[in-house]
């Protein structure tokens, strides 16, 4: 999973990125200090892996990972070359979803580019730049398609869909909110890799005082949540300043720190939970003496395709999946005992993998 972190200058974007990835992207109280995208790989925390590793005495533990791309701060006119111009846009096109960091705190020591805190205005500023950029892509594609359709009439359908997108974007709609007449039309629109088609996760960056109640009494957070509900987006509340302070602590110290703050989840936990929900992702597990590992798949994935995440041969030569629920495996203390109790199921090609399934795939190529 690859997530692009965007936001206006000085909203806490790079501070949050640094804290989540501990990869040391420069951050400072001025715009554009993050000139090139910074990339960080983060392991998805999953306590189940540690427990399975001990149970199987595994030599190696491999968690699922998320790749974060920290994009330079945007300003009005970015799509036309203002600030860092179009440079950031190409990097966003490569991600699965956009994490939009929104400033939801007051602090006279940190300058806002528009001189006031207004998350809805900030969101609109970035959305407009994404819309303008998508319009440019659509107009170029439409021009070529119309010319080609004169010789190949089958391309007229594509031109019609492009026109629907163009009209919607010109009306200020995000591509993901535009209605299409059929599933095929939507699939074609999604294939264009438009920025405003990507799912968005809003990170409401709050003060230290607002993190304990998850921003319930913060009017800015509530505004962002209402907007996200209308869009079908996800929101998580984070304090980048706290995440920065926690970055150097070990696991036990972090637990105590969070407990003192009146919360159990770190910013990374909140982000991962919200992003998995947004993208419809789950994890299944494999375990043995050599390795215990988490595999990320789309919810609703069938067993052969889940096996294909490990290796294409597993999918091609799929015979069956031997499935044990994680809770059953741990409760009974191992695979053999679970099998004795009839809790290891033999599943075929139509089995839909569930979160927490511990699977041994049988295949023959």
What is d(CA 187, CA 56) in angstroms, rounded to the nearest whole number?
Answer: 43
| Tokens read off for 225 | 């949540």
Q: Please indicate whether residue 36 or residue 5 has the higher confidence score (pLDDT).
A: 5
What is d(CA 259, CA 26) in angstroms, rounded to the nearest whole number?
Answer: 29
What is d(CA 198, CA 89) in angstroms, rounded to the nearest whole number?
Answer: 13
What pLDDT, in 10s, does the model give residues 214-250? 788 999 999 999 999 988 888 989 988 888 888 778 7
Percent of the chain clearing pLDDT 90 (strictly above): 52
Using the predicted structure, report yes or no on whether residue 22 has a pLDDT greater than 80: no
- Return the SS3 of 318: strand
Going edge to edge, which strands form the sheet with 234-238? 38-43, 65-70, 2-6, 97-103, 200-205, 234-238
Average the pLDDT over 141-155 and give the result: 92
The pLDDT of residue 111 is 60
What is d(CA 6, CA 56) in angstroms, rounded to the nearest whole number?
Answer: 41
Residues constituting the chain = 365
What pLDDT, in 10s, does the model give residues 183-212? 999 999 999 989 899 999 999 999 888 887
| Tokens read off for 194 | 């438009």
Using the predicted structure, report yes or no on whether residue 141 has a pLDDT greater than 80: yes
Q: Please indicate whether residue 206 or residue 71 has the higher confidence score (pLDDT).
A: 206
What is d(CA 54, CA 287) in angstroms, rounded to the nearest whole number?
Answer: 10
The pLDDT of residue 156 is 93
Using the predicted structure, report yes or no on whether residue 87 has a pLDDT greater than 50: yes
CA pseudo-torsion sign 174, 85, 11, 114: negative
**DSSP H helical ranges for 76-118:** 87-92
Average the pLDDT over 12-33 and give the result: 64
The pLDDT of residue 317 is 96
What is d(CA 358, CA 52) in angstroms, rounded to the nearest whole number?
Answer: 10
Q: ∠ at Cα 158 (155, 161), nearest 5°?
A: 155
The pLDDT of residue 72 is 66
Q: pLDDT-derived band of residue 173, with 50, 70 and 90 as boundaries?
A: very high
Quick one: which of 240, 245, 254 has its CA closest to 101? 240
């Amino acid at each position: 999973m690859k997530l692009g972190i965007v936001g206006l200058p000085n909203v806490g974007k790079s501070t949050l990125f640094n804290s989540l990835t501990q990869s040391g992207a420069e951050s400072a109280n001025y715009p554009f200090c993050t000139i090139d995208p910074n990339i960080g790989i983060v392991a998805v925390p999953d306590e189940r892996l540690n427990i399975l590793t001990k149970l199987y005495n595994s030599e190696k533990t491999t968690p699922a990972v998320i790749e974060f791309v920290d994009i330079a701060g945007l300003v009005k006119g970015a799509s036309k070359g203002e600030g860092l111009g179009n440079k950031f846009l190409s990097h966003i096109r490569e991600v699965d979803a956009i994490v939009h960091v929104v400033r939801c705190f007051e602090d006279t020591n940190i300058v806002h580019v528009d001189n006031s805190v207004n998350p809805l205005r900030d969101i609109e500023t970035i959305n407009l730049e994404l819309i303008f950029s998508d319009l440019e892509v659509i107009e170029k594609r439409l021009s070529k398609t119309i010319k080609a359709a004169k010789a190949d009439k089958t391309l007229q359908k594509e031109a019609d869909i492009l026109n629907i997108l163009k009209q919607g974007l010109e009306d200020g709609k995000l591509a993901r909110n535009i209605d299409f007449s059929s599933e095929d039309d939507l699939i074609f629109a999604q294939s264009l890799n438009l920025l405003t088609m990507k799912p968005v996760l809003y990170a409401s960056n709050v003060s230290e005082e607002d993190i304990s109640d998850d921003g319930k009494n913060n009017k800015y957070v509530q505004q962002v949540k209402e907007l996200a509900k209308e869009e079908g987006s996800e929101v998580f509340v984070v304090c980048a300043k706290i995440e920065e302070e926690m970055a150097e602590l070990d696991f036990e110290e972090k637990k105590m720190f969070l407990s003192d703050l009146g919360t159990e989840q770190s910013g990374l936990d909140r982000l991962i939970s919200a992003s998995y929900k947004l993208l419809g992702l789950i994890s299944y597990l494999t375990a043995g003496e050599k390795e215990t590992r988490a595999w990320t798949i789309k919810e609703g994935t069938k067993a052969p395709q889940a096996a294909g995440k490990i290796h294409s041969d597993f999918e091609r030569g799929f015979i069956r999946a031997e499935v044990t629920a994680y809770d059953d495996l741990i409760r009974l203390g191992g695979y053999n005992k679970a099998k004795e109790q009839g809790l290891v199921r033999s599943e075929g090609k139509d089995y839909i993998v569930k979160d927490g399934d511990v699977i041994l795939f049988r295949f023959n190529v």
